[in-house]
Amino acid sequence: MELERNFDLILQGATGFTGHLAAEELALHAPESLRWAVAGRSSTRVRALAQRFGVPAIVADGLDRNAVGHLAAQTRVVLSCAGPFSVFGTPLVEACVEQQTHYADLTGELPWIQKLIRAHHQRCVEQNTTIIPASGFDSVPADLGVFAMRQKLQEDLPVHGFFTIRGGLNGGTLHSGIALAEQGILTDASPPPHVGPAVFKVPVLKRWAAPFLMAAVNESVVARSTQLISGKDGAAPFPSPYQEHLLVRGRLRALQMKWLLQLSNRMLTSPIGRKILKRFGPRPGEGPSEQDIREGFARFIVVAGKLDAPTTMRQWNWDGDPSNRITVRCLVQTGLALAAGEAKGGGVLTPASALGDSLLQRLTAIGAVQEKDLV
């Protein structure tokens, strides 16, 4: 039985850089009938933002369990932009589980996601509450792309994903990574053992592959989608692993990207390196210009079969800066789908296993992504 709520959706962490963008996206695409509100820990800032969009304001510090409990009890869906999620997300997710409120966020914090699965998955299945971490650029494009590809496959084939991206870094993302490193729980971004060479030529694409910062998270999310969908639908499982890479021009550029990733990891894990990043990197609340956000993009190519003779290939073209425009579009459409009752069931799920075609159709309809077959 549906519980009576004051709101259909509340956006938590709305006063940060990404939160502002998410609020703008919600105002642009929310149905007129949607009852939504913005929330944050600063009374002054959240009320100013609420006034801008003509919606209610809710003051809630993510570390105040009573406040987030009250927030979750008022709404059917919570969207969160308030990271680091391993710090600010745990009380909010616990409140959502307790109040049977659907939830989605922008986290790419793999250890935290795994903790949520262990702590809450079974209860959420039983009470039909849908929790979807990693609903931003981590990891909607990869998860939906592989999901769509595997729907077309008639046999088990290895699948590779190749990203080409252009975009900027906002202060919230940087400082979330710093905070995780300081806690000693930063996800290891090095490629897992099955990936093979860190740098290699991809003849069919006439490009080179390099390690990708988000591969560890995306590969884990895609693997869980495969497990959940196979178990739920009774379909044959796909035991071949999904492997993800950055796609660049030339071997030298691939080696440069490999070294840059290694350098960034070393800086995050070093006290001196973190001081340098805090001093010279963007501060919380800062991010790319509107022009840079608009001109960013992500191209995602999914290859099934052998890399030198693939069975099929599909390309997904995502519009806008990955860490800002793409990520908030993915989050907002996830929230709107949850508010519309489109989730396939309860649990701590992935975007593809929870929403699948529904989310993909929503993102396509607003022009966030276009797809085409290459082979």
CATH of the domain at 344: 3.40.50.720
Specify the pLDDT at position 59: 95
Specify the pLDDT at position 234: 43
Specify the pLDDT at position 169: 74
Domain-located, residue 237: yes
- Separation between Cα atoms, residue 20 and residue 271, nearest integer Å: 31
- Separation between Cα atoms, residue 272 and residue 212, nearest integer Å: 24
Counted domains in the chain: 2
Does 102 lie in the same domain as 45? yes
Least confident residue range of 61-75, 158-172, 215-229:
158-172
Contacts of 11 (CB under 8 A, 6+ apart): 19, 22, 23, 26, 36, 37, 38, 39, 79, 80, 81, 335
Does 76 lie in the same domain as 50? yes
Does 92 lie in the same domain as 30? yes
Specify the pLDDT at position 186: 56
Domain-located, residue 288: yes
Give the DSSP per-residue string, 49-106.
HHHHHT--EEE--TT-HHHHHHHHHTEEEEEE--S-HHHHHHHHHHHHHHHT-EEEE-
The encoded tokens of residue 237 equal 């499982």
- Give Cα 133 to chain centroid, integer Å: 7
Spatial contact of 42 and 15, defined as CB atoms under 8 Å apart: yes
For range 15-38, the mean pLDDT: 96
- Higher pLDDT: 74 or 269? It is 74
Domain-located, residue 172: yes
Does 210 lie in the same domain as 283? yes
Does 57 lie in the same domain as 149? no
Range of the domain at 167: 140-324+364-373
Domain-located, residue 1: no
Domain-located, residue 292: yes
Whether residue 195 has pLDDT greater than 70: no
Whether residue 312 has pLDDT greater than 80: yes
Whole-structure pTM value: 0.91
In percent, how much of the chain has pLDDT > 90? 67
Domain-located, residue 35: yes
- Higher pLDDT: 182 or 139? It is 139
Specify the pLDDT at position 294: 85
Does 259 lie in the same domain as 110? no
CA dihedral 346, 350, 352, 355 (to 10 degrees): 40
Name the residue among 96, 77, 87 with its Cα closest to residue 41: 87
Give the DSSP per-residue string, 313-334.
EEEEEEES-IIIIIHHHHHHHH
**N-to-C CA span, the chain:** 47
Does 145 lie in the same domain as 47? no
Does 175 lie in the same domain as 156? yes
Does 163 lie in the same domain as 289? yes
Q: What is the mean pLDDT of the chain?
A: 89
For range 248-266, the mean pLDDT: 90
Does 91 lie in the same domain as 60? yes
In tens, the pLDDT along 124-151 reads 999 999 999 999 999 999 999 999 998 8
Domain-located, residue 2: no
Does 46 lie in the same domain as 59? yes
Does 330 lie in the same domain as 319? no
Q: How many CB atoms lie within 10 A of CB 210?
A: 24
Of the pLDDT bands very low, low, confident and very high (cuts 50, 70, 90), residue 190 is very low
